[in-house]
Every structure is written in C-alpha cells, then in structure tokens.
Structure 1
Amino acid sequence: MLTIPPLRRRAALALLAGLSACGDPASRSPDRTDAAWHRADLDRLLSSWLAHAPRLDGGFQLRFNRAWQVMPEAELELTGQARLVFAFAAGHEITQDARYLAAARRGADFLLAHFVDPVHGGFFHTVTPEGRPRATFKIAYGHAFALLALAQLYRTGKDARHRDAALRAWSAIQTGFFDGQGGLFNECAADFKPTRGVRTQNPVMHMFEALLALHQATGDAGVQAGARRLGDFVVYKLLQGQPESAGGGACIPEWFDDAWRPLPTRAAGGYIDLGHQFEWSHLLNTGAVISPVYGQVAERVLAYALAAGYDDNDGGCGRRAFPDGGRVDMGKGWWQQAECLHALVVTARATGRNDLWRRYEQTLDLVRDQLVDAERGSWQAADALPCKRGGCKDEQPDPYHMVSLHRTALQPRGA
C-alpha cells in the first residue's frame, strides 16, 4: 500500500477540494441554512449579554473575561456602546423579545445623552464611566456604528427620535469626515479638523453598511446618494483586480496612503484583510439594489477571498494576504469566521451553488466545534484556532459580527 507523506497528502486533498469546487458551481442546491442553530446561538449570545452588560444608567459594561467577570473600564467607547445597541435591536427584530428592544432603547438614550457633541455635532470618542466627555476627538469608525445602531433601532422600534438622531449624525458625517477624493478621514478633532496620515478602508466599509441600513429604514434619498457615493468610491477607486494566475477575482486592500494608494508591501504595512473581503462581499450584495455593479463586484471579491484565504481541508478562512506575495496568514480568528459564514450564506442563497453550501456547512462545523462556548453562552475570542494551543483570549468578544450573521440567516430571503 502506497503511503503519502503528510504534507503531500494535505496538498492532494486541497487539490481535490479545489477540483470539486470548480465543478460544483453548475450544481444548484435548495437553501441549506441551519436556521435552528442560528436561532439557538442568537438566543444564547443575547441572553448572556443581557444578563451582564446593561448598567443602571442605560449604558453598557463591555469588558468581561470568559467567566463573565467584569474587567474594569477606565472609559466607555463609542464603537462598543453602539455595537451593543445594534445587537439588541437586531435581536428584537428576529426574536420579538421585548427585553432586547428595551435594552437597545436605554443604550441609545445613554449614547445620545452623553456622547453627542452639543457644539460641533457628531459623537465624542469616549466618555468617563460617569458619562462625562473624555476623548473628544471624532473617529469615523465609531460614527459608522452609531449610525448603524440608530438606523437598526428605528427600523425595529419605529421611534422618530432615533430616525432624526440618525439623520443629524449623517449630516455631521457628511460635513466633517469626507475628504476631497470620496473617502473618509479616519479621525478628526472635536471641531472636525481632519488628522492627516494613512487611511483605512474599514470605516468606509462600515459607513456603507450603516447607510444601507438607514436607507432601508427611512427611504431617505440623500442617504441613498451617500451610500452610492461610498460604494462607487470603493469599486472604482479602491478595488484591485487580480490576475488569473493568482486565482482571479478582486480585493480591497486594508491600508492606503493619504492619496488612497494601497500600501505596496508587507514591510510598508500593506495587507489584505481576508475577513473584510468576505464582509465586503455580503455588503455589496446588499447594495446591489442601489447599483447592479455592486453585485458583480461582490462575486469577484468573494472569488478572491475563497482562492486566497479559504481552507478547503478544514473549513474557515485565514486572516491576511499580502500585496507583494508571501505566505498567507491562515490563523483563524473568531470574527473572520462569522463574516466568512455570512458571505457564504448570502451568496449560496442567491445562486444555489453547491460548492458554497458545502463550504458554509464545513465552516459551520468548525465554528460549532472550536468557537462556540455553549456553557458560557458566547464565542471564544480566538485570534488563531485552536484555543488549546493558546490562540484564544480570556475575554468575551462583543456579539456584533455574530448577531449580524444570525439576523441574515434567519430573515426571509429579500427581507
């Protein structure tokens, strides 16, 4: 009997998986979403966060170790507060559990009472535990999540206060964060004077997400135009086509200079975040209602992500690829797996492609086996699986990525 050495055997398995994937797209499957698992995991996550995070003043305690013991926080940060408002509001939309809507509303009340800058508009970056402004500069990334939280809460709760607050925030964002090239400054002073330096696509991505959600909730034409503005900036300015020899498709690099030119090498700080490619794929698919081009680009970005960073042997995706080549970082972090699943379920539902359903089921097995901590009602904060080798932190990851995944998986198609 011929014995194949382990490295050659792994390569042979990868080749067979790749050949199988090449043949599968023509094969269509019905929806294979495991709705029961998504619902159970959503309930576990949100009931755990509801039991531990709400403070008496309506804000949220966000830092816990894996045993849900409180880790001290010197300040409360906009992004984390907003992401939990979003998570509870989205959870209520799916479950109709009134407790989640109440927590989201109280969290939004705290955010609007303590983070809003009454002089220049927008939101402070952090406040003290007592709710006083601390870091008064403005971060585009945090503003994107504040906008997303208010949009989701208005969609769920239909309180005009949240719609109006979202539209005021969008007005401040338009005035303060957009640069002359169509992108966003990462950071501004309290008066929105921009901080110069390298740029990242990350706040652009989440602002696009927030504007899609706000337009869906309100139908506002100005919001739709803003989403189109950002989407076009990404697909016509940031998107980088890849040669067929490298798997084809297209990617969106992570870091750029101040003229939005990608940082060219790993040594210079340039990389392609693989989790963000999966994230862009499902967001652009959602944005196809604004421009059909976005759906076509979503397919190219997903093709790149699968070719560059998907593990066809064990499921799941890696963390980073690099513009100048070299070995891909295949460490499997927790949020990357959530975004990988999210993109796979969106595109598999739209196309019926059997190869995508196979990868969805394979990655779901990985998540259930290695990330879900059912005993504690959470996921493990993995930077690189497996946890038994020390690749996971002793902390609770916030539920934004998982709740976003579960909401999509549990919504009727087209909702």
Structure 2
Amino acid sequence: MGVEVGAELAKGVGRRPVLALLAALAACSDPDAHIRNRIDTGWHRDDLDALLLHWHSHALRPDGSFQLAFDRAWKPRPQPELELTGQARLVYTFAAGHEFLPDAGYLAIARRGADVLLERFRDPVHGGFFHTVGADGQPRATIKRAYDHAFALLALSEVYRIGGSERHRAAALQAWREIEAGFFDPAGGLVNECGRDFKPMPGSRTQNPVMHMFEAVLALFGATGDEGAQVGARRLGDFAAYKLLQGRAEAEGGGARIPEWYDEAWKPLPTKEAGGYIDLGHQFEWSHLLMTGAVVSPVYAQVAERVLSYALATGYDDIDGGCGQRAFPDGAKTDARKGWWQQAECLHALIVAAQESGRNDLWRRYEQTLGLIKDQLVDAEQGGWRAASALPCKSGGCEDTQPDPYHMVRLHQAALKLAA
C-alpha cells in the first residue's frame, strides 16, 4: 500500500485525496479511530484538571472534610453542617481524578474524605449514614435518605476501585447490604427517607434515588465483582425498565421516558398541576447509565436507546445545542430553559451513545453541545462552571455560586475512558 500511495503522489494527485486515503488506511488498522478522533480529549482533560485544581485549592478542610458552599469567586459561604451527598460527591470527584491525574495527590484526599464518611456520618447503632453532621462531628439530621446513600456507596466504591484498600471495599459492601435491608419497598423501588432505625417515612416516591443507586451499585459491581452487587444492579435496572418506563406511540414522537414523581404505590403523578413532570436531564442520565448497565442485562442497551430517542425528540435544541429541563405528562409546554447540570448529562449521554453506535447525528450533537458548554458554561473568569438555571448568563439566569463538580467529572471520566 505504501508503494501505491507513493506512486499516486508521483503522479501529482492533489494533497487532499491522498490525506483521505491515508486516513482510510489508518481506519483499517484501527477501526475505532474515527470515534476517538471526534471526542475532544484535550478539552475534557483540561477542564477536568482545571476543575480539580480549583476544588483542591478551596475545598479542603484540615479535618479531611470539604467546604462546598462558595460564591462564584470562590469566597466561602457559611456551612454550619456537613451534608452527606455533597461530601460523598467530593470524595468521588478526587478518587476519579486520580485515575487521570495520578501525580496530583488526589487519592490521598479521597481516602481522607472517605474516612470522614465512615467515622462521622456512619450510624454505629443502626448502620447506614446520617443525613448531616455538625462541625463538631456530631450527628444533626439523623434521618436516612436513599439519595444520600447512593452517593456514599458511589464514593466508597470509587475509592476502592482506584486505591485498592480492603477497608473501603468492606465498607462499600456493608453499605450496600444495609441499603438493601433498609430502603427497598415492596414494589421493588426505594423509599425516599427513613428514620434513624430505617423505619420508612410515608410520602411520595421519586425515581432520582433509584437512578443514582443503580449508578452506585453498578460502580460497586465494577470495582469488586461482587455477585450481590450484580443482583442489586439487575433489580434496580429491571424496576426502571419494567415498572417506571413509559413507552411512547410513534404519533407522540416514539421512544420511552421515565417520569420523575410518583405516589406511594409508584403510580406517576399525572399532570403538571399535580406535580408530575419528566426531567429531561435525568432522561439523558438514565440513557448513559442503562447503556453502562448492559453488563448486567443486554435489555438495558435497548431501553437506553429508547430513552435517548425520547430525550432528543422532546428536549434537544437542534439549533443551538443542549437540552431543556422538563416535559410534562399532560402535554403542557416543555420547559426549554437550559441548566448547567442538564447540559453535562446531555453531553455525557451523547458521547456514550455515539461511541456505541457511530451515528453521525449523535456526533454532530456532541460537537454542538460541547460548543455550547465551552461558550456559556465554562467560567473563564473565575474557574469552574457557571451555575446556570437558564442560559445565557447575560440574561440573569446564572446564580452567584459554584456548582459541585460531580456531573462534570463523570462526564470527563466517561469521555477520557471511551477515547483511551
């Protein structure tokens, strides 16, 4: 082949056709090259590095916990209590960052943060984790929240996967056993809140802790190979796919969606007025999590495709890129405002689906949404991302705060792994 290319050059064939031929030859030897070449790895790595540098500079506290409340300029705001979800997200953030930036000392930070979770938040009497603790390390809100526990499990699983400490492996597996015993309801979903003794609190249900628990137990299974975690991931994934998922007729745009709020029997709230809605960011999030979850059931990849189809048809902006916030079950007008975390999840889902399918329409949307994020969300002045509830910021839709980096780090982690 090299002789033939040289002959073409000798004949004076134009430079562009020869480069195209060389690219085709490279693709023959590396069939996934066209996929990786469309992921902007330089930007993903640079933004990950910048985010972690800022959080490393401002969030660390002497006792191993994290300051999470900042204004846009990174000025600390009062934080009288430590909240489990936020602390766990920072533990995960630094553990994940170590995988790509191994010389920055992030693993040690993650381990110290994990120790805070285990030493201060963990309930020594009933198991599980408290919702908040005070600056003195004593529990404040002793309720148990499924959403909190999902992030505690994710953090411990990631610290074990990256650092290999048997202590963190044992803690993650124990946390999962307590979650299974304390939060699952008879329908197969999760109770939102329990008392300290894991007595369920009455109230409506939401898919959000189910989604993040699915994410966390998948991480536990990936890190440990534990069969119980595999069964748990299948249990939650099947609940979403067979209980929560709503298929859509072709006349309604097709695809499938997972509503946000339900009554105690997991019947979705029917109207906007009743509090029912479909969170579009969560549809994108479910899409990439279900695709990842295909390791426990191949059905999930098909469900992921249907959910993504709905999210794109209902909430994606094909003119400017990015996605809106909410659709409504009764056909009320879609809330097309663009929030910061929804754009991160939209981009994450597009990367995963485009890598899996190679579809050019998905790569086009990836590049389009990436442009939106670069232009309107990455904060070139202060660092971090803008806390947008309704882009553009110049219209007053951004808050004077720093959003925590969980969604962004998950996005960059996926992009860099897929490009590797």
Query: Aligning the two structures, in what range does the TM-score lie when normalised by the shorter sequence?
Result: over 0.9
1:178 aligns with 2:184: yes
Residues in 2 aligned to 1:126 and 1:361: alpha-carbon distance in whole angstroms: 40
How many residue pairs end up in the alignment? 387
Shift of 1:97: 3.0
Task: Give the Cα separation in 2 of the matches to 1:36 and 1:169.
Answer: 36
Q: CA deviation at 1:182?
A: 0.4
Classify the secondary structure of the residue corresponding to 1:76. Answer: strand
Q: Deviations over 1:252-275 (max 9, x none)?
A: 000000000100000000000000
Per the normalisation by structure 2, the TM-score is 0.91
| Aligned pairs (5 A) from 1:201-220 | 201-220=207-226
Higher RCO structure, 1 or 2 (CA under 8 Å, sep 6+): 1
Q: Is the 8 A contact 2:355 2:418 kept in 1?
A: no
CA contact (8 A) 1:29 1:354 kept: no
CA separation in 1, counterparts of 2:135 and 2:248?
47
Tell me the equivalent position of 2:10. Answer: none
| 1:257 equivalent in alignment to 2:263 | yes
> What is the TM-score normalised by the length of structure 1?
0.92
Q: Say whether the 8 Å CA contact 1:94–1:411 is kept in structure 2.
A: no
Distance in 2, Cα, partners of 1:106 & 1:97: 17
1:361 is displaced (CA, Å) by 0.3
Match of 1:309 in 2: 315
Q: How far 1:29 moved relative to its partner? A: 5.5
Structure 1 contact 92–101 (Cα < 8 Å) conserved: yes
Task: Indicate yes or no: 2:347 matched with 1:327.
Answer: no
From 295, 299, 316, the counterpart of 1:293: 299
CA displacement, residues 186-205 of structure 1 (integer Å, 9 cap, x when unaligned): 00000000011100000000
Task: Work out whether 1:30 is the aligned partner of 2:35.
Answer: yes
1:381–1:396: 8 Å Cα contact kept in structure 2? yes
5+ residue gaps in structure 1? 1-27
Give identity over the alignment, percent: 71
1:279 maps to 2:285: yes
Confirm or deny that 1:227 pairs with 2:247: no
Match of 1:69 among 71, 75, 86: 75
Which has the greater radius of gyration? 2
Alpha-carbon deviations, 1:214-246, whole Å to 9, x = none? 000000000100000000011000000011122
Matched, 1:158 2:174: no
Shift of residue 95 of structure 1?
A: 1.7
1:127 to 133, 136, 142: 133
Give the Å deviation of 1:99. Answer: 1.4
RMSD, aligned α-carbons: 1.1
Determine helix, strand or coil for the equivalent of 1:397.
coil
Given that residues 58 and 106 in structure 1 are in contact (C-alpha distance below 8 angstroms), is that contact kept between their aligned partners in structure 2?
yes
Q: Is the 8 A contact 1:122 1:172 kept in 2?
A: yes
| 1:373–1:380 contact (8 Å) kept in structure 2 | yes
Which residue matches 2:18? Answer: none
One-letter code aligned to 1:30: I
Match of 1:42 among 48, 51, 54: 48
Deviation of the 1:98 alpha carbon: 4.2
3-state SS in 2 of match to 1:262: coil
Deviations 1:319-362 (A, max 9, x none): 00000002100000000000000000001011110000000000
